Amino acid sequence: MAEIFTADQVYGDYVGNGCCCSPACCKLKMSPSPCMPGNDCICLQPGIFGCGPICPVICSLPYYRASCCGPNVWCMIPCESPQKFTTADAMEPCCCGCGVGYVKDKGAGGPGGQEEMER
């Protein structure tokens, strides 16, 4: 059985994994939800235009655990844009296998590195 990652494990700053659809300059931040605290809701704050500064919390996108889609899948309401955490330090969209994805930004203090995600 796959390890199930908690919200605390996936919080952090992420950068694109270098794929053409998620270049290394792309940024996002996973943070606790100000509206729904707990382990079943996280806020995804994207970089403005992908590579710009992180959007303020007011612009963040709420993601909820979608266990019906897999053990480490989170979706926006209503079940849009599902994201799968392949490790606690890397995520990819469930919609495609082209290599797009994000990894924790080691330079921002996250425990992960800039390794490529498994394709």
Residue with tokens 């921002």: 108
Q: What is the largest CA-CA distance in the chain?
A: 38
pLDDT 10s digits, 100-116: 788 999 875 444 444 44
Strand partners, 64: 41, 75
> What beta strand segments (E) does 1-119 contain?
12-16, 27-32, 41-46, 61-65, 73-76, 80-87, 90-93, 102-104
Q: Is the predicted pLDDT of residue 119 greater than 60, yes or no?
A: no
Q: Is the predicted pLDDT of residue 49 greater than 50, yes or no?
A: yes
The pLDDT of residue 57:
73
pLDDT 10s digits, 61-110: 888 888 888 889 988 876 677 888 888 899 888 776 677 788 999 875 44
Domain coordinates in residue numbering, the chain: 7-104
Which amino acid does the sequence have at 98?
Answer: C
Query: What CA–CA distance (Å, rounded) separates 65 from 72?
Result: 7
- What percentage of the chain exceeds 90 in pLDDT? 15
Average pLDDT, the chain: 80
